[in-house]
Chain A
């Protein structure tokens, strides 16, 4: 077997650091299949931070309707645009919230929806650009009254 050279050792080390840091980045506990959703969407690639502004209330009194606005920096031309955006809630019974699909005809990569949150948790957005690059952002929302079950 070939010994690992210096470059490979660094690459391995970097990957390991990412893996160990990731769960710590989340404030609330992940209770569902959020990781699976994200992995399916990104095909295992690591999204970068930035480009996305995710707007959610810090405290949601009613988890049944939590307004969510998302805005992604992009020229939105035929050459370069935001293709898909995955929205995940990591403390809901099911992680998936919505997948938004934009086109250059959207003009702006901006959308607002209203979502249900069962409990205090992180809402994660992952955006896939037309060139395949990935960006992510997340926000913690404190929920006073849950929006699922009853």
Chain B
């Protein structure tokens, strides 16, 4: 199964600050276009949805198609008004969901 996703974001932020979040998850993102040595089509297997929530509220999400590179890297921003937890989820074609969490504190 896939390795632990890598997520980069600051440990703390000022109230109202916009922070940048970088995520990377290991995944083949098999497009369903390629053929194996026997000429058979390798079935599609991709992460088709990524979502990020902060304290239960949606921040950013995206629907992904086979045109996304292997080991999908997604970078986006988030506005931090309170301390809390970011929850990340990557949904695979086969239904498995890779999840991760990161906490952020407010600067004092």
Contacts and interface: CB of A to CB of B under 8 A. Distances in A.
Interface of A: 64-66, 76, 89, 92-94, 96-108, 110-117, 147-150
A11 B67 CA distance: 38
Contact of B62 (A101, A103, A150): A101
A100 B64 CA distance: 9
Interface residues of B, number: 29
B26 interface: no
A93 B33 CA distance: 8
A150 B34 contact: yes
Interface string B51-89: 000100111111111111110111111110000000000
B60 A100 contact: yes
A96 B67 contact: yes
14 contacts: A92-B67, A98-B62, A98-B63, A98-B67, A98-B68, A105-B57, A106-B78, A106-B79, A111-B62, A113-B62, A113-B68, A148-B31, A148-B33, A148-B34
Contact of A105 (B58, B69, B70): B58
Contacts of A149: 33-35
Interface of B: 18-19, 31, 33-35, 54, 57-70, 72-79
Contacts of A112: 73-76
Contacts of A101: 58, 60-63
